[in-house]
A and B are shown apart, each in its own frame.
Chain A
Amino acid sequence: MATFSTSPVIASGDSHPATSPTLDIRAIVRRHGSVAAVDHVSFQVRRGEFFSILGPSGAGKTSVLRILAGFEEPDDGDVLIDGCSMLGVPPNRRPVNLVFQSYALFPHLTVCENVAFGLKMRRVAAALIDEQVRQVLAMVKLTGKEARKPAQLSGGEQQRVALARALVNKPAVVLLDEPLAALDQQLRQAMQVELKSIQEQAGLTCVCVTHHQEEAMMMSDRIAVMHQGRMWQVGTPREVYENPRTLFVSRFLGVSNELPGRLADAEGDAYFFQPADSELPGFPVPFHLDGSVGRPATWSLRPEHLRISRDRPITEDPVLPGVVEKVFFAGSETKYLIRVGRESRWEARATGARSSTFAPGDPVFLHWALDAGRVFVE
């Protein structure tokens, strides 16, 4: 079943009310001049949860993180950590630590001194500092590199130092600002797995800001999609991916094969979607919301739900004709770019033996399970 919404999640949009949230963000607002960089954002993070704020650059997600860290104060709203308001509390008095996008390792200190910095500032006993630094360095697999300076480390190692420097303080919340953005693709994937396992092993509560949807989906327990200062949807990666509330969320969380058009009259218990492109026939959609019929809408389908066949399939499911335009062989799977109607281009994927079946110019039929498609009314 599909649902839709054109309004962002404003306050209490959290589908998982936590019994005792570690972090409770209440309708924070942050204005830069007349523009609201953060516009009434609310969410809660439970202890031990990995929570990602996902959005394009300029969405306001970094502002949210800086407000949590204490570098910026919200113009309105409140930030509670373990039930205590953080308004007016400077960064050095907050039980949170930030892992910077650039790592911000102190270049004049060794790995060991970098990691020990927070403990030293809190005047922890020297013997205890040594012990805790040793433990956390073992956890991030940096044993033996204690005496190095940051400049003598690889990007991946610097990333681990930055992480260790935050973890060693056992903060209530670890804030991650695009933690893996500076790493190359392979290292990034390895670190995603490692970061996640460290987080689970240490029971860390994390708030991670990223523009990388795959990274957010792989690591997070829940994702909040942010755009233009507002939070549009909060949920588990599966919920957000499979039941996006808006077209923006649908597009941002993966490939969205789309057709513009409008909803037509009901027939039985299904509605019809009439594409704007007159070359294409209408097809049934599982959509029932009053007052939407006749209004402009966009129909969307994830590529993994799209099936391709050379001959018209014998099925009850919706079928549309298309023409293969391009074929991208990507090893484990083959991606097809298929023109549908006059100007829509869809992506379909095939794995295994089927992958070499089609060539550019081939006419094909596309079909999908009736309830896989989604309709977003404008």
Chain B
Amino acid sequence: MPSEESSRASAAAQASCRPFWLALPGLLWMTLFFLVPLLLVLAISFASRGTYGGILWEFTWANYLDLLHPLYGKILGQSLWYATLTTAICFVVGFPLAYVIARSPARWQPLWLLLVMLPFWTNFLVRTYAWMIILRQDGLANHLLLALGLISEPLELLYTPAAVVIGLVYGYLPFMVLPLYVAVERLDPALVEAAWDLYASRWAVWTRVVVPLTMPGIVGGCILVFIPSIGSFITPDLLGGARSMMIGNLIQHEYLVVRDWPLGSAVSFVLMAIVMAAVVLYYRQAGGADGSSEGR
């Protein structure tokens, strides 16, 4: 009893002398350069566009009501679909990759992880240009498919939704692999063997043990892929063309081409709302799977 009390007292003492001021520079930075501009954008989203692209400071819901137009709805839906598809493909491709890396000999793991991260060493824009070269009419992909005899004439790959999703999967796969790797690495191999020993088929081992126990990594990976995917700009801009517009392109279009800042701001906040809703949904999902309702 006395030891418990003293440990509680020492914990309180630790809490009281925790150096909060160390967080000040970061807090100041975030307030000045993130929170203030964000509030500014929120304010603009309720203003209206002046004749020459200026901002008229009179409160209105008009920008948000404008977004109900089917054209904007299509772009929002398209973004949601591309981001969801990208997340799903990244998961299906990334989980086995992460599993194999986490179960490979310990001395090789840093090398595999380095290879996963290697693309980050080069600028994202340059890498996306590389994909344009690969996917265009006389590009590498078409040459390869022709040489293999799989197709008889070049496919139209660039400037299609498929190109956007390929580019997004390429860009964000490492964000899926890394949290999954950590989750699998923490998974005790004996648990997999125990399930196998207890008559579970390979599929049952996967669904009953591996997936539930790596759920934090799965949720983390999905969020890390979904968020940048839905808001991405460069990939749909360079690989997608006009038909595969995403929210990011719409925002850029409204701000810089149409010079309708209030509408652009409203689109930005709708994007934030979608992301937040998605994150909450993911966490709910994970909480449910982790609970005791499973099994029985």
Indicate whether A and B interact.
Answer: yes
Which of B191, B197, B213, B296 touches A97 (beta carbons < 8 Å)?
A: B197
Closest B residue by C-beta to A118: B198
Closest B residue by C-beta to A71: B193
Interface residues of B (CB under 8 A from A): 188, 190-191, 193-201, 204, 208-209, 212-213, 290, 292, 294-296
Return B39 CB to nearest CB of chain A, in Å. 42
Query: Which A residues touch B197, using CB under 8 A?
Result: 69-71, 91-92, 96-98
Inter-subunit contact B198/A108 (CB<8 Å): no
Instruction: Determine if A109 is an interface residue (Cβ-Cβ < 8 Å).
Output: yes
Which of B193, B201, B290, B296 touches A108 (beta carbons < 8 Å)?
A: B290
Interface residues of A (CB under 8 A from B): 69-71, 90-93, 96-98, 100, 102, 104-110, 112-113, 116-118, 120-122, 147, 149, 165, 169
Inter-subunit contact A169/B193 (CB<8 Å): no
Tell me the complex Cα distance, A93–B200, Å. Answer: 9
Inter-subunit contact A92/B209 (CB<8 Å): no
Inter-subunit contact B190/A97 (CB<8 Å): no
Q: Can you list 7 A-B pairs with a CB-CB distance of less than 8 A?
A: A69-B197, A71-B197, A98-B194, A107-B213, A110-B292, A110-B295, A117-B198
Query: Which B residues touch A118, using CB under 8 A?
Result: 198-199
Inter-subunit contact A169/B190 (CB<8 Å): no
Tell me the complex Cα distance, A92–B199, Å. Answer: 4
Inter-subunit contact B198/A165 (CB<8 Å): yes
Known A71-B193, A92-B196; contact A113-B290, beta-carbon cutoff 8 A: no
Known A106-B195, A110-B292, A113-B295; contact A121-B200, beta-carbon cutoff 8 A: yes
Inter-subunit contact B198/A169 (CB<8 Å): yes
The 6 closest A-B pairs by CB, nearest first: A118-B198, A104-B190, A104-B194, A121-B199, A113-B295, A91-B196
Which of A91, A110, A147, A149 has the most chain B CB atoms inside 10 A of its CB?
A91
Closest B residue by C-beta to A113: B295
Return A6 CB to nearest CB of chain B, in Å. 38
Tell me the complex Cα distance, A113–B208, Å. Answer: 11
Inter-subunit contact A92/B200 (CB<8 Å): yes
Known A121-B198, A121-B200; contact A109-B295, beta-carbon cutoff 8 A: yes
